[in-house]
Amino acid sequence: MLKTLLCALISSACLKPVPVHALGEFVKYEELQAIITSLEQDKVYAPGELNALFEQVARDEGVLKAIARPAEGTKEWKDYRPIFMTQNSVEKGLSFWRTHEAGLSRAEAQFGVPPEMILAILGVETRYGGNKGRNRVIDALATLGLDYPPRAPFFRKELREFLVLSRENGMDPLNTWGSYAGAMGFPQFMPSSWRRLAVDFDGDGKIDLINNPVDAIGSIANYFNANGWKTGEPVVVRARITSQDYDGIISKDLKAANTLGEIAKKGLAPREAASYLASTPASAIRLQGDNGGEFWLGFTNFYVITTYNRSIMYAMAAFQLSQELKTAREAELANTTATALPAETP
């Protein structure tokens, strides 16, 4: 009873501290020393420079909690979709489109990716640059690469890429912020994607995805193009049930694993009237919507979106936001044209 009373009066003294690594503790890790040695041997950093840097790096417990419960893994489609499909997101996307119309049009001409798809990625990833992340990237990547066994090799690779990127671009590795997974800037590129696929799209002599939306536009378009985007081809369409044999054809693979002909034989066909070749690569998708099961047919372009984030729900949210943006932009332009027309004389 006395202990309970004391706890109520002096709560801070009774709380157990959350165990965290002290600054610099990662320096003891053999895996980190291997990265440091390789970068010193490649003369990216001088001897001792990285050891001193990592004396200022600490494990981020919040990163480990966040990666254990991503929205894509914990929510049904009916709950996931509303996160991104909002009027505010469409309005902000339209504003961004007006501001950067020239860059978006140039990206489409050069890479074949439509403006609405580029915008949808920006909208889903960072609210068009409004939320680029609150985690220090070096802490996040070190934490996941050294203390998250399920994907440690991947994140150690990204940690090395980040250190190289920082040196190449003159970035301060201790003052670069991003997502809990270490993704950065308007488009939330991982360090390896930045180094491989980011472009200087405004021609100012440097690639800046953190502060330059034009570079982000061109880099997203280049990313999609490099990962197989097929200009002018469909992304995903609603399916109708033609027989009850479809269970065996529903796919969770992140690729077009079948053909429309094979899927049709199992009981799912495009709902829309447009004609498609039976040989068209596709996969059958089932999502849990507000009114029960939704059936979709995803094409190659749909699975290009999943290379950005390995989630069918993510790709669907990005696609549907792109269509809302396209519709809203067309309506806006039509209204502008109608307003500009001279009134008829009686």
Domain positions in the chain are: 236-298
pLDDT tens figures, 303-345? 999 999 999 999 999 999 999 999 999 999 998 777 665 655 5
* 139 neighbors 63 (Cβ within 8 angstroms): yes
Q: Which residues are catalytic?
A: 125
pLDDT tens figures, 203-252? 999 999 999 999 999 999 999 999 999 999 999 999 999 999 999 999 99
| Model confidence pTM above 0.85 | yes
* 60 neighbors 23 (Cβ within 8 angstroms): no
Burial environment of residue 118 by CB neighbours within 10 A (0 to 12, 13 to 18, 19 or more): buried
Percent of the chain with pLDDT over 70: 91
- Order of strands across the sheet with 236-241? 258-259, 281-289, 292-298, 236-241, 268-270
d(CA 27, CA 15): 29
pLDDT tens figures, 240-254? 999 999 999 999 999
What stretches of the chain show up as alpha helix (H) in DSSP? Answer: 2-9, 11-14, 30-41, 49-54, 61-67, 71-74, 77-84, 87-99, 101-111, 115-126, 137-147, 152-169, 191-197, 213-226, 260-265, 300-305, 312-340
Who contacts 212 (Cβ-Cβ below 8 Å, separation ≥6)? 186, 202, 204
